Structure 1
Amino acid sequence: MKPTPIRRTALRLTGVTAAAFATALLTPSAATADPPPGCTAADMANVATGVAASTSGYLYAHPDVNEFYTGLRNRPDDEVPEAVRSFFADNPQAHSDLLGLRQPLTDFRARCGLPQPERPLLDQ
């Protein structure tokens, strides 16, 4: 079964998060020192879980945004980035809201010295 854009995004977030955390843990300076307080894998999972729960609640409360993201699964992969850009151009508040919802994960990464994703929202 081919992953949907939503599933790919979730897998990408999980994979990037795990890879970034593993990379940070394996750097020479990190290998000899404990992570900063509140920067463990469990802490990251906790923050990511909160972001996911908030995003879920937002999508249920905003059926138009939920419908848009759900509809991406029926589009060819090469059309998804432009569809997302177009949607956010037409719906700047949704874009702002979703960036705000993921801010705790952005803050966690900054505080813990982990790299930020290149595009915080799907093909932004």
Structure 2
Amino acid sequence: MSLTGLGVAAFSAVLLAPAVALADPQPGCTAADMANVATGVAASTSGYLYAHPDVNEFYTDLRNRPDDEVPEAVRSFFDGNPQAHSDLLGLRQPLTDFRARCGLPQPERPLLDQ
């Protein structure tokens, strides 16, 4: 997996994006279930960003960059901060697990604008 990242707004969009509709969802795979998982991921991510002011500042400053520069800036940041990349992927894991368990597609770039 290539090192990609997220902007705070982009990450929020990932968490709150509606799930692909399932004709007959399995137990635990409803929209409410996804919202519950996404809420937990969002809360954990918020706590992480408050506890890591350097990471929080980096993502906050992304809003000052042109959109086409954001992906490379994030890749570069994670190249220099692999632990932050690993931490954020770990925080997002419950959403990844939910999608896998419920037969929903995984985003190609889970930490960048999906």
Greater relative contact order (CA < 8 Å, ≥ 6 in sequence): 2
1:86 aligns with 76
Q: Name the SS of the counterpart of 1:120 in structure 2.
A: coil
- Give, in whole Å, the separation in 1 of the partners of 2:98 and 2:16: 15
What is the root-mean-square deviation of aligned Cα atoms in Å? 1.5
41 and 106 in structure 1: CA distance in 2 versus 1, 3 angstrom threshold: same
Report how many aligned residue pairs link the two structures. Answer: 107
After the TM superposition, list the runs of 4 or more consecutive aligned residues in structure 1 that deviate by more than 3 angstroms: none
Q: Any conservation in 1 of the 2:45–2:88 contact (CA below 8 Å)?
A: yes
CA distance in 2, matches of 1:35, 1:8: 27
Mapping 1:1-124, distance limit 5 Å: 5-15=7-17, 18=18, 20-22=19-21, 25=22, 30=23, 34-122=24-112
For 1:90 and 1:78, locate their aligned partners in 2 and report how far apart those are by CA, in whole Å: 20
TM-score, normalised by the number of residues in structure 1 = 0.80
Higher helix share: 1
Q: Which runs of 5+ in 1 are unaligned?
A: none
Structure 2, unmatched stretches of 5+, are 1-6
Contact 1:21 1:41 in 2 (8 A): no
Show CA shifts across 1:53-73 (max 9, x none): 000000000000000000000
